[in-house]
Amino acid sequence: MGDKELRAETLDGAPGGAKAPTAFLEVRDLRIHFPTDDGLVKSVDGLSFQLERGRTLGIVGESGSGKSVTSLGILGLHNRRNANVSGEIWLDGQEIVGSSPDQVRRLRGRNMAMIFQDPLSSMHPFYTVGNQIIEAYRIHNDVSKKVARKHAIDMLGRVGIPQPDRRVDDYPHQFSGGMRQRAMIAMSLSCDPELLIADEPTTALDVTVQAQILDLLRDLQEEFNSAIIMITHDLGVVAELADDILVMYGGRCVEYAAVDDVFHRPLHPYTWGLLGSMPRLDRERSERLLPIKGTPPSLINLPSGCAFNPRCVYSELNDGRSETERPELEELEPGHRVACHLPLARRKEIWDNEIRPKL
Ligand SMILES: Nc1ncnc2c1ncn2[C@@H]1O[C@H](COP(=O)(O)OP(=O)(O)O)[C@@H](O)[C@H]1O
Ligand code: SF4
Ligand SMILES: [Mg+2]
């Protein structure tokens, strides 16, 4: 089944793609291109996915695959003067791509929040942590400063900041990296977002703090029933948190499935590579057996055919199709979509006999 048919199916045959979906978040054929002096950078090129409340989608791919551009697109944060954005992003029945900046701002404030890798970039250095949470809270809640301050202290306590009634008056630089990340989560959650986008939220943190932050997100999700998009280059980070995983390569989706399928029955050679290069505590770095050789492609001139073909050890098994014909995303098994020319039976054989035993 090709991309078009997939769309037709989800759209219930609606002409023009204008019908509102039933999913809480639905992204349809999203494209985000940047015209530059060197050429058109196709950072996101035909991405489609869905997410329900209370569920988590992991978007995984190497650096430069278009993950952050996607998340900024969902938040409606690209400047239309230097980005060409097309497709549809439906959030709770409202379409974002075609909305005015004012409408998007209102929607963002009410429904969405984002956690970045580097909290310092989104916290103001000259205001106390507490004041920033108070301001964020009061934008959407008509309450006195005193009530908002109590709420800020409460939120800081809930994200695990010790002595929150004292730390509320600290400045961001007085917090450690992990504490700052927690404070940013408190700030993001202080307006009860229905959609939380976490872009590499734990990349800069050590393993223990990383695990604590992921636990925290899981608890808060249970409490607020938020939908979460967790963006990472490391499949390990989303193994326990995500319900579904979308693997991106060169601005496109190459595999999209339930987390169990991605870890136990992956069907794309690039996903095999990501699994093989996952850091493992029980194994020395040098013992990782299947690192992906080569570098990610330029998004101005993607390789012809399958964008992964220069790095794929199976590209020659397809009578040259890997070099000439771009594989469409197909639903090979219920809810399991993959873009690769390899025959399904051959792929299962390779996974079972060659890849899985080495992981
Ligand atoms: N404003 C922009 N203008 C031109 N190219 C951009 C712009 N923003 C991002 N890109 C390019 O888009 C590609 C994807 O970037 P990004 O989404 O940040 O990757 P990831 O988050 O997966 O590491 C990169 O090659 C990046 O250089
Ligand atoms: S289409 Fe060819 S190059 Fe691309 S992942 Fe499949 S086998 Fe490898
Ligand atoms: Mg990024």
Using the predicted structure, report yes or no on whether residue 281 has a pLDDT greater than 80: no
- Rounded alpha-carbon distances, angstroms, from residue 323 to 2, 218, 259, 317, 318: 19, 42, 29, 11, 9
Q: Which long-range contacts (CB under 8 A, 24 or more apart) does 141-149 make?
A: 141/191
Between helix 207-224 and helix 177-189 the angle, nearest 10°, is: 10
Using the predicted structure, report yes or no on whether residue 336 has a pLDDT greater than 90: yes
For the ranges 72-81, 171-180, 181-190, 243-252, the lowest mean pLDDT is seen at 181-190
Using the predicted structure, report yes or no on whether residue 17 has a pLDDT greater than 70: no
Ligand nearest to the Cα of 330, by number: 2
For the ranges 24-33, 146-155, 214-223, 320-329, the lowest mean pLDDT is seen at 214-223
Pocket (CB within 6 angstroms of ligand 2): 269, 306, 308-309, 312, 314-315, 318, 322, 327, 340-342
Atom 27 (ligand 1) nearest CA? 64
> Which of the listed residues 36, 69, 248 should we mutate to test ligand 1's pocket, taking the one with most ligand atoms within 8 A of CB?
69
pLDDT at residue number 289:
55
What is the per-residue pLDDT across 286-300, written as a single tens digit (0 to 9) for each? 455 567 889 999 999
Contact yes or no for 171/86 (Cβ under 8 A): no
Which H or E run includes 334? none
Atom 14 (ligand 1) nearest CA? 66
Structure-block tokens of residue 17: 């793609």
- Looking at per-residue confidence, does 66 or 14 come out higher? 66
- Rounded alpha-carbon distances, angstroms, from residue 67 to 9, 128, 202, 355: 26, 31, 15, 26
What is the per-residue pLDDT across 52-63, written as a single tens digit (0 to 9) for each? 999 999 999 999
For the ranges 83-97, 110-124, 284-298, 344-358, the lowest mean pLDDT is seen at 284-298
Atom 1 (ligand 1) nearest CA? 34
Using the predicted structure, report yes or no on whether residue 131 has a pLDDT greater than 70: yes
pLDDT at residue number 18:
59
Q: What is the pTM of this model?
A: 0.90
- pLDDT averaged over every residue in the chain: 88
Nearest atom within ligand 1 for CA of residue 248: 22
Using the predicted structure, report yes or no on whether residue 6 has a pLDDT greater than 50: no
Ligand 2: centre distance to CA 167 (Å): 52
Contact yes or no for 256/337 (Cβ under 8 A): yes
Strand order in the sheet with 56-60: 112-115, 195-199, 227-232, 56-60, 244-249, 252-258, 336-338, 330-333
Atom 6 (ligand 2) nearest CA? 340
pLDDT at residue number 5:
39
pLDDT at residue number 283:
56
CA–CA gap between residue 201 and residue 278 (Å, rounded) = 17
Ligand 2: centre distance to CA 39 (Å): 26
Beta bridge partners of residue 336, listed in sequence order:
333
> Which of the listed residues 68, 114, 229 should we mutate to test ligand 1's pocket, taking the one with most ligand atoms within 8 A of CB?
68
Atom 7 (ligand 1) nearest CA? 34
Ligand 3: centre distance to CA 169 (Å): 31
- Looking at per-residue confidence, does 113 or 290 come out higher? 113
Using the predicted structure, report yes or no on whether residue 10 has a pLDDT greater than 50: no
pLDDT at residue number 2:
42
